[in-house]
């Protein structure tokens, strides 16, 4: 049994898909960002972020990419990651960390530009630069996907779990993901998986059509 602490449309979406893919029992524990952070949660994760994963032995993992890789390693039978030490595993790391280090922080700039400057007059400029970068970064993701449909070809992986989370975030961004043919093909394939359908429905999202 796992517990996954989350809030709506957060970085917990990727781990939620992975838990559904694995098919193990889990419980979703909602954290309301409009309320003070619960002290018992801060003892699990002092960084005031979600997601956090807790297993039935009380072991704690946070950061979305760490949770995804941890789940893939704990449940190799689910096939969510190639074997460690293989070229395919190295490619998975490369793709996953590119999204985590480049695409996710750029969305943070887009959503919270005031956090990235001390100059109030510069907030619009931060958002404009983030928007410019997002357009370029999705083009790079499109190239990484190639013929797909997934990042690792026919093999669905935790990188695809992570990408669908970022695609949800893109709903407030002006550039339609339909502009990127490989990305859109991947979104349609990922959104059609039963695991993703559960996550999307839980977050009030109506399938691939919601990604424009």
The residue out of 61, 78, 95 marking a domain boundary is: 78
Q: What is the average pLDDT across 64-71?
A: 98
Beta pairing partners, 60: 54
pLDDT recorded at residue 174: 63
Tell whether 207 is covered by a domain: no
Beta strand residue intervals within the chain, DSSP E: 2-6, 26-30, 52-55, 60-62
Task: Tell me phi and psi for residue 104, to 5 degrees.
Answer: -60, -45
- Give the number of domains in the chain: 2
Tell whether 110 is covered by a domain: yes
Tell whether 148 is covered by a domain: yes
Same domain, 63 and 104: no
- For the stretch 148-169, pLDDT in tens is 999 999 999 999 999 999 999 9
Q: Give the mean pLDDT of the chain.
A: 95
Contact 182, 137 (CB under 8 A): no
Determine the structural domain holding residue 6 and report its residue range. 2-78
CATH code, domain carrying 157: 1.20.1050.10
The CA–CA distances, whole Å, from 133 to 128, 178, 211 equal: 9, 17, 19
Listed residue (204, 166, 165, 208) closest to 184, CA to CA? 208
Same domain, 124 and 164: yes
- For the stretch 4-14, pLDDT in tens is 999 999 999 99
In the three-class reduction of DSSP (H, G, I as helix; E, B as strand; rest coil), residue 150 is classed as: strand
- For the stretch 167-211, pLDDT in tens is 999 986 667 899 999 999 999 999 999 999 999 999 998 876 677
pLDDT recorded at residue 171: 80
Tell whether 174 is covered by a domain: yes
Q: What is the average pLDDT across 108-126?
A: 92
């Amino acid at each position: 049994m796992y517990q996954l602490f989350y809030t709506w449309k957060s970085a917990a979406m990727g781990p939620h898909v992975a838990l559904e893919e694995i098919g193990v029992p889990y419980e979703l524990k909602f954290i309301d960002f409009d309320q003070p952070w619960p002290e018992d949660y801060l003892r699990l994760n002092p960084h005031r972020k979600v997601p956090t994963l807790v297993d039935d032995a009380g072991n704690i993992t946070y950061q979305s990419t760490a949770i995804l890789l941890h789940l893939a390693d704990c449940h190799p039978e689910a096939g969510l990651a190639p074997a460690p030490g293989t070229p395919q595993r190295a490619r998975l790391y490369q793709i996953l960390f590119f999204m985590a280090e480049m695409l996710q922080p750029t969305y943070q700039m887009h959503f919270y530009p005031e956090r990235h400057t001390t100059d109030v007059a510069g907030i619009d400029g931060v958002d404009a630069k983030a928007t410019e970068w997002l357009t370029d970064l999705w083009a790079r993701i499109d190239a990484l996907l190639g013929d797909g449909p997934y990042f690792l070809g026919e093999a669905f992986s935790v990188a695809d779990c992570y990408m669908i989370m970022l695609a949800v975030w893109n709903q407030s961004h002006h550039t339609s993901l339909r502009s990127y043919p490989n990305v859109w093909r991947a979104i349609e394939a990922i959104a059609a998986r039963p695991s993703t359908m559960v996550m999307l429905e839980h977050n009030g999202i109506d399938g691939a059509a919601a990604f424009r």
